[in-house]
Amino acid sequence: MSEAKTYLELSEAEGSHKFYEVVVNGTQVTVRYGRIGDNGQSKTAEFPTAEKAQADATKKINEKLRKGYEQAVVGVRQKRAVTRRAMASIPVSRSRVQAMQAPVLWKFASGSAAFGIFVDQQTCWVGNQTGRVFALDHSGQVRNQFQLPDGVKCLVADDAWIYAGCDDGKVYDLGGKVPRVAYEIANNIDIFWLDIADGILGVSDQDGQVTIINHEDESQWSKRSTGNSGWMVRCDEIGVYHGHSRGVTMYDWEDGRVIWQQPTDGAVLFGWQEESLVFAGTASRKVYCFTKQGKQEAVYQCDNAVFSCAAAEDGKYVFAGDNDDSIYCFNQAGERLWKLATGCGSVYSMQFFEDRLYLVTTNGSLACVDASEAAIQSAQAGTVPTVVDIKAPKPIAAPVAVNFVETTTDAGAGVLVECFAEGSQLRIRALSPGYDSTWRVQFPRDLRELGARYVVEALRPAARGNFYRTYGEIRKLV
């Protein structure tokens, strides 16, 4: 049986230098990706028919083309040496460091300590310990808000979906007018962190256990690591990267098989991932960088325990926040470029996005830091912009019940789905033409009513295939 291979590369003068390869062989699709010049990592998926395998491959390829990848020939571009930033670091005393403020453009007072953050082209999300979630634009103005029943542990995005993991053991989909319960984890599990990739949820907890939950809110597998306190879980299409008190472990998506383990000097307190790298911030004042094959790369040395970390694309620059209200920037080789004070507390979580570093802190701030080279040089010279302070709006009324659903008598342009019994479980399937009725639909469990029909704005196939995901508002057809 002949195979079809598509090889793509994304190579920018001052940015990414990576490849993505898709091979279709009958009913199998193998994806391999990583830095140009490296072997990368690969994963093979099996599909019921060759047509579905080809459809999955085409979807993956088109997604990469939209992100700027181009057709290429293996070996033409060579592996790129680690780049070093020209700006030299400035050694300073502790007292001077505390006086050197970061170039904060604006900061938003959410009202309580905040762990949850997510930033994309349109929106800056923050979720705090009172359960308040705010969606801001890039100037810091509030565009939407939600009140959840418990403290927000983290905010994660998965393609077009945004989810909030809460201390009540539930994960809420914030994509509509009303938060919906997308996943419900056992009450006796003390969740430390969550991540989602293509509708599959990864959960790490206090006991050092990692659990994978599928799109039907059913546990696929659960493994206990060699340590405890799982403050890091990051997921991609290849595996699950779990950080705990004794290091980082990578598991296989399908069965929880350990692929590699790496020790760290000190417990992992935060994790970050790029396409080919994972980062672990530790209590031992270090950020570790590992390739996704488990090879240790650079180690980034801070002055205090690392609460959070992030990176520019593919690790060009690495950022860290410590427990003493400071943030750091390193180059890819591990050289410290700068350390500056936040002015708004220690950073629980952070994200780098388009020359801005977004922080959520112990005092509840969402802060936008200008992390461009010019701004940092000015800050090191003592010149910073005047911070725009933004207060949270008045709290909204008590949250609408998450199982509330509007009704309609007309499906209109929406997609029609229905709830049916499959053994002892209630499932959802598509009824509208053009959809595969044998595929299940990821759908809020609290809304499922045997025999009921619903209208959703859209259904989108999961990248891994075999099920659909609802998009937009849900209404019950009456």
**CA 114 to CA 44: how far, in whole Å?**
38
Residue 27 vs residues 61, 63, 437, 438, 440: alpha-carbon distances, Å: 17, 20, 20, 18, 20
Domain with CATH 2.130.10.10 in the chain: 100-391
Positive or negative, the CA dihedral 410, 411, 413, 414 is: positive
Q: Does domain 100-391 have CATH number 2.130.10.10?
A: yes
pLDDT at 97: 41
**CA 339 to CA 301: how far, in whole Å?**
11
Q: Where are the alpha helices (DSSP H) in 293-358?
A: none
**CA 475 to CA 457: how far, in whole Å?**
9
Compute the chain's Rg from CA coordinates.
23
pLDDT at 405: 86
What architecture is domain 4-71? Single Sheet (2.20)
| Segment (H or E) for 66 | helix 50-66
In tens digits, the chain (478 residues) has pLDDT values of: 568 889 998 887 656 788 899 999 989 889 888 878 878 777 788 888 888 888 888 888 888 887 788 888 888 787 765 433 333 333 444 434 444 899 999 999 999 999 999 999 999 999 999 999 999 999 999 999 999 989 999 999 988 889 999 888 889 999 888 888 888 887 667 788 999 988 889 999 888 999 999 888 888 899 998 999 999 999 988 899 999 999 999 999 889 999 999 999 999 999 999 988 999 999 999 999 999 999 999 999 999 999 999 998 878 899 999 999 999 999 989 999 999 999 999 999 999 998 999 999 999 999 999 998 899 888 888 899 999 999 999 887 655 556 778 899 998 889 999 999 999 999 999 999 999 999 999 998 889 999 999 999 999 888 777 899 898 889 999 9
| Cβ-contact 18, 34 below 8 angstroms | yes
Q: Backbone phi, then psi, for 61, in 5-degree steps?
A: -65, -45
366 Cα distance to chain centroid: 17
Domain with CATH 2.20.140.10 in the chain: 4-71
Q: Burial letters for 330-359: b for 16+ Cβ neighbours within 10 Å, e otherwise?
A: bbbebebbbbbbbbbbbbbbbbbbeebbbb
pLDDT at 398: 58
First to last CA, the chain: 51
